[in-house]
Amino acid sequence: MVTLVVRNEATAASISASVRICGELRARLRVHRNSYVQITAGSRRSRVFRVNIDEDSIDPGTIVADHWPSIEGDREPFTEAPDVSVRVLSPAFVRVAQYIELTPLDHDPPKLPLPMARVLLKKLILHDDDGVLRFQQDGVEYGEWKYKAYFRGTRRRRRSRENPESSVGIVKDETLVMLLPFTSAGVYALQPQAVQPIGTHGEKMRDLLELSLFPHENSHETTSSAVMHPQSILLHGPSGSGKTTLLQLVAKELAVNVLTLDCTVLATPQYRIENIFTAALRIQPSMILLEDLELIFPRALDETKYKLICRFVACLDHIRRNGGDRVVIVGVVTTIHALNAKIRQVFEEEVALDIPDKMWTVKLFSDLLPRPDLVTDEFKRSVAIKYGQRPSHIVAIARKLWELFNQNATIDQSELESAIEQYGREVATSASNANNLQSSVPNVSWDDIGGLTSVKQKLMEMVVWPLEKPQVFLRMGITPPLGMLLYGPPGTGKTMLAKAAARASGCNFLNVSASDLMKAEFGESEKAITRVFDTARALSPCMVFIDEFQSLFGNRTTTGVTTSRMISQLLIEMDSLKAISDDRVQFSNDSTSLVASDRVFVLAATNALSAIDPAFLQPGRFENVVYVGLPQSDERRAILELQRSKMPWHSDVELDVLVEATEGANAASVVALCQAAAIAAMQRTGEQSQEQVISMQDFTSALATGFFAFTREEEDNAAEEYSEA
């Protein structure tokens, strides 16, 4: 029987310790000085110690430890443990740390020079790959530091806390040590059950990384062809689209070491970019993950950053020349256009990360909910459609819900759904993309629009059916339309039709105005158009709605240089959408591919069709031109009945009279008439709220004001212009 005595003496690092044993116990255990033993004391997690021999002062049945290392989840102090289990570890099972990152826990830590950090870390025993160290030496405190250790990796090897032979590491002279000024922004830790499989949106990135790191295992051709694999990849996508999370999921699946570096650290004087490449070579297979690359390498560079680019390119060339190294460098970029052109050129592959499909988002939201059984599947789908444009939105909602549950665990279904709606609105309000465009799913349905049955049907066929019935389009060999132009007098409901179509299809809605596109600086308007479509592709399925189209994209023969350049850029973007859609129909065997995440539909509205550049009316662009005219008598009746369902009308209101009186009025004017009648009723009844109903007298008063200005004659002229176009 062996007894463990813990002296709890102060050490340089709070998780490092050694034990002393006498010569008799050394001979019985067959250990030597500076070898390693694993000691298990009761139910506590095992610790590993370095052995020192003390021939005289230690009892034969006793092991004396300077300190019982503190490990997260197992920090209970004690001074003595009888009948401990002692196991000698072979040196082959004790891993040598190749690279260690130290990051201060405090915002203002004591100064720790790198040479002193090496001294304090020397011969340190690490029970985990990451944790917290408390440094002190000769009475001098150096504070608490978060560490992360990297070891030589073997594919598919898993390190386990329950198996110290695979998780214990030591620090030696050859270990690279790096002091970071701050911790890189972490990824929100999901609940264990919420770890999602890599969806279709991430498969391209996964395949590229596997080819880069394990080329011989994935090449079906000659060995020479396997060497030609990309070792630098640029991943770009909007903020919150899950770029870093995807890379971490792929790295975990491939059992690859990941060196994550916030690129702003590269600008600090004490950091040498060469060290990160050296560390990656030591722990391969490995991935160097460079976050926010455009912040350190913007389009305009000063001399310091230019020198940094040269050093970065030199390190990358060294990796490429070796050929057989299993190291890949992945740059993560939010705004690809803000990245320096020289840096962009050195990356061999570019991958645009698309937003996950809605089913993936629904599953993520369901797994993240504190009580998923309290919420119906229909409600989950509704939330994913309305607020789940990006994975980060869903995660933000879930984080707030967990905070709510920590305060009140007895919340019921109605309270939970109300909280989800509230948090969803908060996230949607605060969320914005690089172009400051606000996406949403409009709260307008077909029932909110009176009449226009034929136009609604056309929008159903062009917008809704390609998303609801992709297999039919595929079987029939139909390329889903990518653009539609609504034409007609003002106030006829074109904007409401666009919103209702987006709501019916469940896609996101980008309402693009002139202020979003017209920029004062030369060339910025074209870039704004590109950013709109980048955003739309990221939020797809998505509808881009451009109102007053003729004011932005008029005929190039009568407009200036800026408008002409904007027209050319929009045509390029629309032709790009057309090419992608054609390829999907021609080469895909999967019916769901028609609802791929780059599905974007462009809907425009104009009051003057003849003022638009003719190039937009060619096939593949706005080939569907739909006229939205003034409402006929049956449509005006439908609008009036819809307003009556929302307002308190008196029984004396004669609907036929109102239908006849509104001849030549547009839909907005008919609604305005009802609003004016309501105001007249309030004026007539004063403060007597119980008598505030709208009577025929109120409508007569409103009609007398001349509430509409668009005449039937003007309507006829507009229809003639449309037929000629």
Q: Which residues pair with 260 in a beta bridge?
A: 289
Residue 89 makes CB contacts below 8 A (sequence gap 6+) with 35, 36, 37, 38, 48, 164, 165, 168
Residue 534 corresponds to which tokens in the numbers above? 């980048």
- Helix, strand or coil, per DSSP, at residue 324: coil
Q: Among all chains, which residue has been given the structure tokens 């917290």?
A: 132
Residue 28 corresponds to which tokens in the numbers above? 């019985």
293-319 confidence digits (pLDDT tens)? 887 888 777 777 788 888 888 888 888
| pLDDT score for 433 | 45
Q: Do 161 and 167 meet the contact criterion of CB atoms below 8 Å apart? A: yes
| E strands present in 607-711 | 624-627
How far apart are alpha carbons 373 and 381 in whole angstroms? 14
Q: Specify the DSSP class assigned to residue 163.
A: B
Helix axes 667-685 and 696-704, enclosed angle (nearest 10) = 120
Phi and psi at residue 473, to the nearest 5°:
-60, -40
Task: Sheet with 80-81: list strands edge to edge.
Answer: 80-81, 3-6, 62-65, 18-21, 47-53, 36-40, 85-89
Is the sign of the CA dihedral 126, 127, 130, 134 positive or negative? Answer: negative
Which amino acid would we find at residue 229?
A: H
How far apart are alpha carbons 302 and 424 in whole angstroms? 42
| E strands present in 25-173 | 36-40, 47-53, 62-65, 80-81, 85-89, 95-96, 99-104, 125-126, 130-137, 140-150, 169-170
Q: Specify the DSSP class assigned to residue 713.
A: H
Q: Among all chains, which residue has been given the structure tokens 């600086």?
A: 521
| E strands present in 560-627 | 600-606, 624-627
Which amino acid would we find at residue 252?
A: K
How far apart are alpha carbons 416 and 409 in whole angstroms? 11
Strands 36-40 and 85-89, sheet pairing: antiparallel
Residue 274 corresponds to which tokens in the numbers above? 């060469």
Residue 227 corresponds to which tokens in the numbers above? 């060497």
Which of 173-188 are b and which e, b meaning 16 or more Cβ less than 10 Å from the residue's Cβ? eebbbbbbeeebeeee
Q: Specify the DSSP class assigned to residue 109.
A: P
Going by C-alpha positions, the residue among 474, 462, 463 that lies closest to residue 593 is 474
Q: Do 604 and 549 meet the contact criterion of CB atoms below 8 Å apart? A: yes
Task: Sheet with 286-291: list strands edge to edge.
Answer: 257-262, 286-291, 327-333, 232-236, 349-352
How far apart are alpha carbons 346 and 358 in whole angstroms? 35
How far apart are alpha carbons 627 and 723 in whole angstroms? 10
Residue 181 corresponds to which tokens in the numbers above? 């000024």
Q: How many CB atoms within 10 Å of residue 72?
A: 12
Which amino acid would we find at residue 536?
A: A
Which residue positions in the chain have pLDDT lower than 50?
11-14, 154-165, 185-195, 221-227, 432-435, 585-597, 709-711, 722, 725
| pLDDT score for 540 | 66
Residue 199 makes CB contacts below 8 A (sequence gap 6+) with 356, 357, 360
Going by C-alpha positions, the residue among 633, 647, 624, 669 that lies closest to residue 484 is 624
| pLDDT score for 490 | 85
How far apart are alpha carbons 373 and 415 in whole angstroms? 14
| pLDDT score for 160 | 45
Q: How many helices (H) and strands (E) does the chain have?
A: 27, 25
The secondary structure of 266-323, three-state, reads: HHCCCCCHHHHHHHHHHCCCEEEEEECHHHHCECCCCHHHHHHHHHHHHHHHHHHHHC
| Separation in Å, CA 419 to CA 194, 221, 399, 425, 505 | 20, 56, 12, 10, 26
| pLDDT score for 466 | 80
Phi and psi at residue 52, to the nearest 5°:
-115, 145
**Helices marked H in 412-558:** 413-430, 453-459, 465-468, 470-476, 494-505, 514-517, 524-538, 549-552
Strands 349-352 and 257-262, sheet pairing: unpaired
How far apart are alpha carbons 532 and 435 in whole angstroms? 7
How far apart are alpha carbons 226 and 212 in whole angstroms? 9
Query: How far, in whole angstroms, is CA 446 from its chain's centroid?
Result: 31
Which amino acid would we find at residue 510?
A: L
How far apart are alpha carbons 364 and 471 in whole angstroms? 26
How far apart are alpha carbons 389 and 391 in whole angstroms? 7
- Helix, strand or coil, per DSSP, at residue 28: helix
How far apart are alpha carbons 293 and 377 in whole angstroms? 39
How far apart are alpha carbons 174 and 497 in whole angstroms? 68
Phi and psi at residue 186, to the nearest 5°:
-85, 165
Q: Specify the DSSP class assigned to residue 40.
A: E
CA-atom Rg of the chain in angstroms: 34
Q: Please indicate, yes or no, whether the overall pTM of this predicted structure exceeds 0.75.
A: no
Query: How many residues are listed for the chain in this entry?
Result: 725
Residue 403 makes CB contacts below 8 A (sequence gap 6+) with none
| pLDDT score for 117 | 86
Q: Which residues pair with 50 in a beta bridge?
A: 18, 36
